[in-house]
Structure 1
């Protein structure tokens, strides 16, 4: 199956029922957009109302608050290792990580290796594109590792022992503002198995991408999260309902980005919702019209059938049906009553299997069908022997 055949099948499925499937899909996207608008608006409101503090102000603010009270705050500070602010002999040998390639000191190092795949469709590459997309999504893309050490945010990196806030990463799924310090693509040598994969249309690896990202010391970041006091030390952790935790942006930049994202989601939801309403309205009107036409045609068929039955009953009352109950040749008995000879052929199938009386009784049904082929019949005709 080629890509063109796959696209044709997907198009036919999407346009089924006069585009109702497309309308439902667009309506689902519009509803998801409005849910995202609500979530983004809530995050925008909370970040806009959250107070911004310096690192040196957190200790006094938390000491004035009730014991154990937590609050959403925004703190701007510089990344520093926790061991450097302990004020003990550990500060002489701070617990930091060192990049393998650049030699920079960091508190977070993220290394990843993932395979880059290619696909060449030859004469035997009959697999559809949808299968390839799903297989690529299910396939393990590579390996990655992340190392972290406890770190804090300080107001002045030259005097880290003054004031600091501890950053708690446990339980956070927010992206970190990492800096790429190494990126290298290594080609993978082809093998006979790789040739077979390409021959039969399967994906085969062509390269290995190696990356290293770090959160370096001395980087200015903004922390948005829940701040509390643990043993007199300020601690901040992520809030699950907010899109940011650690970011290079300032509070004003976050507010601008969330405001722009809210407007884009809102207008896209309105446009997509309007299009889906139009498509669904068109599909409903078209299907309602088709159903009314089918009902009128069905009613007209029933009326014509009733007129035919009335005429046949009148003819039957005026001209009595012949009763061929005498000696009937083998294979000529009516399949319904098994008493009279076959005299009537059904239209349009042409089967001559019933006597005239049984054929008339079958025609009086609401949905007359031939007793042999079960095809819908319009009537029957009397067959006379020459």
Structure 2
């Protein structure tokens, strides 16, 4: 680890453990909150997938006909019924075929014209995804600390991958019985789920260095070193599992993705999907519990430590205020004593207790002016304060000022 990396790590550690780890505890609590939210969504999706019927394309008609009455009332069964038929969450296993094969009579002859082909390999399929990923490298040059700061705050601000997708309408069929069996159309609108694509072409093209690249390297900035070009397709005949809302539309079956589920098209079977999602759910549950427990412990420790520090601060402040008031009173009394000692005090005006200072305080209720202010205060603090002259019980004393 370089010097800049160690300095950045030290600054981050100081920030995280500031105020006895409050910021670190809040960060762990946020991670626990996100894990719990993902666990709730994953558990709900697992319950829906586990309860959803797993059928073949030829069984869809009976499943949707039997579920028309219950699909609109059961929220876990799918979306509400549409105008052309009821929608229900189903899991269907089938083979990929182009939609034109079901719409045209001579489907074997016309099928090839309706596919999208890879530019490099020539492979054809119903979905073609072309992606270009720029691979960056960095050399910590003269101003390499700028890279550490940018990575710490926001990371790289450049787009490192661009992709384009082309597709044609396609269906899922029951491979052994096609074209006599039923089929259903796959509606890809609004779906952001991962697709079970097959890589047919991959090429890494190095990027020629330029004077600007050399300047980026000297300043410690990221500079491109290569471009990865990939082409992926969804080929015909591939067995995939569709998990979504199936309904009747224009006399045929159509399946759409559900935003509440993490899968739409997958190469896994239902049992494999349930096992995979069950494992992810358990991981999220335990991570939420662990991070939540750690966050509660850190925040509880931080609150206790900061409360103790606050009480100590209040006690020190109160003691300091008392010391300051005592010091001010002592200084004022000393100044008064010095002033009185500097002048000649007649014997009849001296305090009857200390015989050093002038009589300044009169006792209440007797009204005798026989003590200085300091001695009057000491008499008041006695358990049974009495006037030194008449021995009458006193309540307080009053400072008397000369006009």
Shorter-chain TM-score range: 0.7 to 0.9
Larger-gyration structure (1/2) = 2
Deviation for aligned residue 1:134: 6.2
Task: Give 2:59's aligned residue.
Answer: 57
Deviation for aligned residue 1:86: 1.7
Preserved contact between residue 83 and residue 91 of structure 1 (Cα < 8 Å) = no
- Taking a change above 3 Å as real, the CA distance of residues 299 and 132 of structure 1, as seen in their structure-2 partners, is closer
SS at match of 1:319: helix
TM-score scaled by structure 1?
0.79
Rounded to whole Å, the distance in 1 between the matches of 2:247 and 2:340 is 101
Preserved contact between residue 85 and residue 161 of structure 1 (Cα < 8 Å) = no
How many aligned positions are there? 323
Deviation for aligned residue 1:130: 3.9
Task: Give 1:207's aligned residue.
Answer: 226
Deviation for aligned residue 1:90: 5.4
Task: Give 1:20's aligned residue.
Answer: 22
- Taking a change above 3 Å as real, the CA distance of residues 70 and 322 of structure 1, as seen in their structure-2 partners, is farther
Preserved contact between residue 125 and residue 234 of structure 2 (Cα < 8 Å) = yes
Rounded to whole Å, the distance in 2 between the matches of 1:104 and 1:39 is 38
Deviation for aligned residue 1:314: 2.6
Task: Give 1:69's aligned residue.
Answer: 86
Deviation for aligned residue 1:103: 3.0
More divergent stretch after superposition (83-92 vs 175-184): 83-92
- Taking a change above 3 Å as real, the CA distance of residues 130 and 74 of structure 1, as seen in their structure-2 partners, is farther
The gaps in structure 2 that reach 5 residues or longer are 69-83, 343-403
Task: Give 1:85's aligned residue.
Answer: 102
Which of 42, 45, 48 matches 1:43?
45
Rounded to whole Å, the distance in 2 between the matches of 1:221 and 1:231 is 24
Question: How do 1:219-368 residues align onto structure 2 when only pairs under 5 Å count?
Answer: 219-320=238-339
Preserved contact between residue 85 and residue 91 of structure 1 (Cα < 8 Å) = no
Deviation for aligned residue 1:135: 6.5
TM-score scaled by structure 2?
0.76
Alignment deviations for residues 201-222 of structure 1 (CA, whole Å, 9 cap, x no partner)? 1211111100011111110000
Question: How do 1:3-14 residues align onto structure 2 when only pairs under 5 Å count?
Answer: 3-14=5-16
More divergent stretch after superposition (144-153 vs 187-196): 187-196
Task: Give 1:373's aligned residue.
Answer: none
Preserved contact between residue 111 and residue 213 of structure 1 (Cα < 8 Å) = yes
SS at match of 2:175: coil
Deviation for aligned residue 1:64: 5.3
Task: Give 1:34's aligned residue.
Answer: 36
Preserved contact between residue 79 and residue 154 of structure 1 (Cα < 8 Å) = yes
- Taking a change above 3 Å as real, the CA distance of residues 245 and 282 of structure 1, as seen in their structure-2 partners, is same
Preserved contact between residue 155 and residue 164 of structure 1 (Cα < 8 Å) = yes
SS at match of 2:263: coil
More divergent stretch after superposition (150-159 vs 164-173): 150-159
Task: Give 2:202's aligned residue.
Answer: 183
Alignment deviations for residues 320-355 of structure 1 (CA, whole Å, 9 cap, x no partner)? 3899xxxxxxxxxxxxxxxxxxxxxxxxxxxxxxxx
Preserved contact between residue 59 and residue 233 of structure 1 (Cα < 8 Å) = no
SS at match of 1:127: helix
- Taking a change above 3 Å as real, the CA distance of residues 9 and 142 of structure 1, as seen in their structure-2 partners, is same
Preserved contact between residue 20 and residue 305 of structure 2 (Cα < 8 Å) = yes
Alignment deviations for residues 164-222 of structure 1 (CA, whole Å, 9 cap, x no partner)? 11000011111111111111111111122211111111211111100011111110000
SS at match of 1:165: strand
Task: Give 1:334's aligned residue.
Answer: none
Rounded to whole Å, the distance in 2 between the matches of 1:71 and 1:233 is 14
- Taking a change above 3 Å as real, the CA distance of residues 65 and 267 of structure 1, as seen in their structure-2 partners, is closer
The gaps in structure 1 that reach 5 residues or longer are 324-386
- Taking a change above 3 Å as real, the CA distance of residues 216 and 68 of structure 1, as seen in their structure-2 partners, is same
SS at match of 2:121: coil
Deviation for aligned residue 1:142: 4.0
SS at match of 2:323: helix
Deviation for aligned residue 1:156: 1.6
Deviation for aligned residue 1:150: 0.5
Q: CA RMSD in A?
A: 2.1
SS at match of 1:160: coil
Preserved contact between residue 147 and residue 220 of structure 2 (Cα < 8 Å) = no
